[in-house]
Amino acid sequence: MDNTESGNYIYRLSKGIIFCAYLPRYFSIFYFNKGLINMSEKPILILFHGMGVHTADSFKKEVVSAANNALGRYEGYGNIKFEDKVDIVSIGYDKHFEQIRQQLADNASGITDVLKAKLPGVSDPSIIQDLLDLESSLGDDKFAYTHILDVVLYMTEVGQYVRAQVSEEIVKVIHNNHHRPIHVLCHSLGTAVAHDAFNQIYTNDNSPLPAQLHTLSFPITSYWAFANVSRLVTSFTGLPSPFDSVVKPGHQGFISMFYNIRHVLDPFTLKPFKRFDPNGKKNWLTPDTFKYDYKPIVTTKVSRKNTHDIAGYIEDPDVCHDFFNTFFDFYPPEEIKKAGDNQFKNIQGDYLKIKEYVEKLEQLDLEGITEFIGMMKSFTDYIKELKDE
């Protein structure tokens, strides 16, 4: 075989078995039980937006813009368009929340009325009073209202409908593209929506239900969870925790590489919020899988006053190199890499202000829904103050 037309490749056989093959470059493949994944084909990236007012298209634009901003910092890569390298499928679910928001506006209903009607077991007078106090404090603050209401609604039966709709869309994408590498990017509340939907879809059972996918048969090449609140939200909903689900790498999961990204000053990923932060000691993964197939990334630079923003995450040099290399070769020479990394804005003054605020939050005792919602209100107020300065 001519070495100019071939090369050594390492392939991962279904769930962790590695073998080396000497194959033509144009025949670069991954083999799984259900067939072949052709790694030379254009990858699919499935997006899940976070809390607040979003559409599938608006979140796609945010991700693409952030990726292209990052590429533009590196000489020789400025002409590359991220959207040309991947086929993006953005799954939106905010429309279901918007219907309820509109219903509340039309009927002069409130958050507490929604909870009473749609969340079983919320009858504790103290919780209801806390929510009433919170609701009255929101007033006309649309930013805080939409963010907080999204989380509250996801804990109700509305969340069940969202998971069903999202699961249907995921299965459709996977079945239509099972021969291509499929990647996932989720942010904020989207990490909970994606986690819960994927855990509903996938199973280790040897006899999966007709609507389910077996973990060995339909792999996800990479899974990017930004500002991961899946553990926190499942603690409220009672759904399986990410520590107990199949949404993971290794022989019991379906993900080849799991990236778990948080900003050190993102309030939603602080310890009091039960952040999903595996340390390799809880038997979530085997030691080898934890070492090779799971990568936590903790970012520290502040490019925006809102440290929860998806664009700030993607553009960060600590993230973008791994992110781009997931989809195409991104290896700028060291000097170009250093120059591009240094162009990433780092606002030291805002860092110190936000750090002081976040350190106060770290001291809070956040045991329940009302405490979490109260923190969200505090954070949205704080971001608004920073923007007004």
* pLDDT, averaged across the chain: 81
Does the structure show a pLDDT above 50 at 94? yes
Q: Would you say 239 and 274 are in contact if contact means Cβ atoms under 8 Å apart?
A: no
Radius of gyration of the chain measured on its C-alpha atoms: 22
Q: Would you say 70 and 320 are in contact if contact means Cβ atoms under 8 Å apart?
A: yes
222's tokens = 């990479």
What was the pLDDT predicted at 133? Answer: 59
What was the pLDDT predicted at 18? Answer: 36
Query: What's the chain's length in residues?
Result: 389
Of 389 and 355, the one with more pLDDT? 355
Q: Would you say 364 and 371 are in contact if contact means Cβ atoms under 8 Å apart?
A: yes
Rounded alpha-carbon distances, angstroms, from residue 35 to 30, 31, 145, 210, 219? 9, 6, 47, 19, 11
List, in order, residues 6 or more apart from 22 with CB less than 8 Å away. Answer: 1, 6, 7, 8, 9
Does the structure show a pLDDT above 90 at 12? no
Bridge pairing between strands 35-38 and 29-32: antiparallel
Condensed to tens digits (0 to 9), the pLDDT of residues 107-136 reads 655 666 666 665 554 444 555 555 555 555
Residue from 53, 154, 164, 157 nearest 102 by CA: 53
Give the up-direction half-sphere exposure of residue 295: CA atoms within 13 A in the CB hemisphere: 15
Query: In this predicted structure, which of 88-92, 166-170, 329-333, 380-384 has the lowest mean pLDDT?
Result: 380-384
292's tokens = 């090779």
Mean pLDDT of 279-300: 93
Bridge pairing between strands 220-226 and 182-187: parallel
Mean pLDDT of 356-375: 71
Q: Would you say 189 and 233 are in contact if contact means Cβ atoms under 8 Å apart?
A: yes
Does the structure show a pLDDT above 70 at 226? yes
pLDDT band at 172 (very low <50, low <70, confident <90, very high): very high
pLDDT band at 351 (very low <50, low <70, confident <90, very high): confident
**Of all residues in the chain, what percent carry a pLDDT higher than 90?**
50
